[in-house]
């Protein structure tokens, strides 16, 4: 794909948007469905499409396939090409190793920088859910405009609907803000990881704290400047990456990539920056962090049993069933999560689905073939 110059339309600069779907994640919170070889982004848990297909489909019409990228290790590329056949082959970026999001996004942004330093990069997790797609698209366009115009890193913060203790929170100033078309972009004052419950309650009541959605936007040149100012080590890697990418020197790319600390972009860069902007994302976001989060998004019967599959309840309430193509009968039970993955079956109390991690740890010894 050649470098496209940004053009003017109606006297306004047309944005060069480049979306990067972070497709390399692996996780076990959806065990027994998610496995080492079949991580969450490939699961069809909300619809008949995988989460990564849903993520790409959400952008249709907003960004042409030619400006949609994925980044993942080489082993996942074949699966990604199968799921996202409209993307040009060169858009499946390959990271030399799975090393969290900071190295991935330095590499991706550097590639895009070489095409157009003013391009706006949108970094999207592959495995989240968004209910109100129209609102998401509207906000995304405005956020891209803000990232371009204000030359700041822009992120989406989710207005908390519960005092969640498992999320990172973004702290904003309500008075210091920018606006585009009446849409507010609040200046970020700081970040707080996983507060305790009383703190999370305070956060919720204050109106100044938002959940970190992991959706970030930046101009490629803004990103480079941020590295220079706030993460000098990563900036030195950036400096070496550009010529290596230009020459397509894979060995050098790999070498420099491995220099970048294996950290999340949040921790390695975003949280160090002063003056980023946050847009409140009230578009029905969920990170689908565990089985119980699906209660809000799957079809529900009159007794609050939720499932996309065939369930026959008898005095059963509030159960989540995932048993594709099979029948599930429930008698006298409530608040259960039931997941049948064929070779493995999970029955879990609704309020204990965080313990799936612990179970997976146990399986590392007792049944690694099921991971």
Interface residues toward a copy of itself, by CB under 8 A: 31-32, 310, 312, 314-316, 319, 323, 326-333, 336, 338, 340, 342-349, 351-353, 355-356, 358-359, 362-363, 366-367, 370
Cα dist from 287 to 41, 231, 251, whole Å: 11, 27, 35
Nearer to a copy of itself, 59 or 306 (CB): 306
> Least distance from C-beta 370 to a copy of itself, angstroms?
5
> Least distance from C-beta 331 to a copy of itself, angstroms?
4
At residue 245's C-alpha, the angle toward residues 93 and 89, to 5°, is 30
Strand-strand pairing, 310-314 and 327-331:
parallel
The secondary structure of residue 195, as a DSSP letter, is: -
Cis peptide before 32 (omega within 30 of 0): yes
SS3 278: strand
Nearer to a copy of itself, 197 or 347 (CB): 347
Nearer to a copy of itself, 72 or 356 (CB): 356
> Least distance from C-beta 366 to a copy of itself, angstroms?
6
Range 342-351 contact pairs with CB under 8 angstroms and sequence separation of 24 or more: 343/32, 343/370, 344/31, 344/32, 344/370, 345/32, 346/31, 346/32, 348/291, 350/292, 350/295, 350/318, 350/320, 351/292
Nearer to a copy of itself, 86 or 364 (CB): 364
> Least distance from C-beta 194 to a copy of itself, angstroms?
22
> Least distance from C-beta 45 to a copy of itself, angstroms?
18
User: Using CA atoms, how far apart are residues 24 and 40, in angstroms rounded to an integer?
Assistant: 10
User: Using CA atoms, how far apart are residues 73 and 99, in angstroms rounded to an integer?
Assistant: 10
Nearer to a copy of itself, 197 or 312 (CB): 312
Nearer to a copy of itself, 178 or 318 (CB): 318
Please, which residues bridge with residue 188 across strands?
A: 172
> Least distance from C-beta 27 to a copy of itself, angstroms?
17
């Amino acid at each position: 794909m050649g470098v496209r110059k940004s053009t003017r339309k109606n006297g306004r600069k047309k944005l060069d948007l480049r979306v990067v779907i972070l497709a390399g994640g692996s996780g076990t919170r959806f065990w027994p469905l998610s496995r080492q070889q079949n991580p969450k982004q490939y699961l069809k848990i909300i619809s008949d499409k995988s989460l990564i297909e849903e993520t790409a489909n959400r952008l249709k019409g907003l960004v042409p396939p030619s400006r949609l990228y994925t980044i993942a290790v080489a082993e996942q590329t074949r699966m990604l090409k199968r799921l996202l056949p409209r993307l040009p082959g060169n858009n499946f970026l390959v990271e030399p190793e799975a090393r969290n999001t900071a190295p991935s996004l330095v590499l991706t942004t550097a590639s895009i920088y070489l095409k157009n330093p003013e391009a706006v990069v949108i970094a999207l997790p592959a495995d989240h859910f968004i209910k109100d797609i129209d609102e998401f698209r509207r906000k995304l366009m405005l956020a891209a405009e803000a990232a371009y115009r204000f030359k700041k890193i822009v992120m989406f913060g989710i207005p908390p609907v519960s005092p969640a203790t498992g999320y990172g929170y973004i702290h904003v100033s309500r008075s210091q803000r920018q606006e585009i078309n009446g849409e507010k972009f609040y200046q970020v004052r700081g970040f707080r990881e996983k507060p305790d419950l009383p703190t999370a309650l305070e956060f919720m009541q204050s109106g100044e704290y938002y959940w970190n959605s992991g959706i970030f936007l930046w101009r490629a040149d803004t990103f480079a400047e941020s590295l220079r100012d706030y993460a000098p080590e990563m900036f030195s890697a950036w400096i070496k990456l550009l010529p290596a990418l230009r020459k397509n020197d894979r060995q050098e790319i790999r070498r420099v990539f491995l220099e970048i600390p294996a950290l999340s972009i949040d921790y390695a860069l975003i949280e160090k920056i002063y003056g980023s902007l946050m847009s409140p994302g009230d578009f029905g976001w969920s990170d689908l962090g565990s089985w119980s989060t699906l209660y809000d998004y799957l079809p529900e019967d009159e007794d609050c049993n939720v499932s996309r599959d065939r369930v026959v309840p008898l005095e059963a309430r509030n159960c989540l069933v995932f048993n594709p193509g099979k029948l599930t009968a429930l008698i006298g039970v409530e608040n259960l999560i039931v997941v049948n993955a064929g070779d493995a079956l999970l029955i879990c109390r609704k309020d204990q689905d965080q313990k799936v991690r612990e179970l997976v740890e146990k399986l590392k010894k007792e049944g690694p073939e099921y991971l």
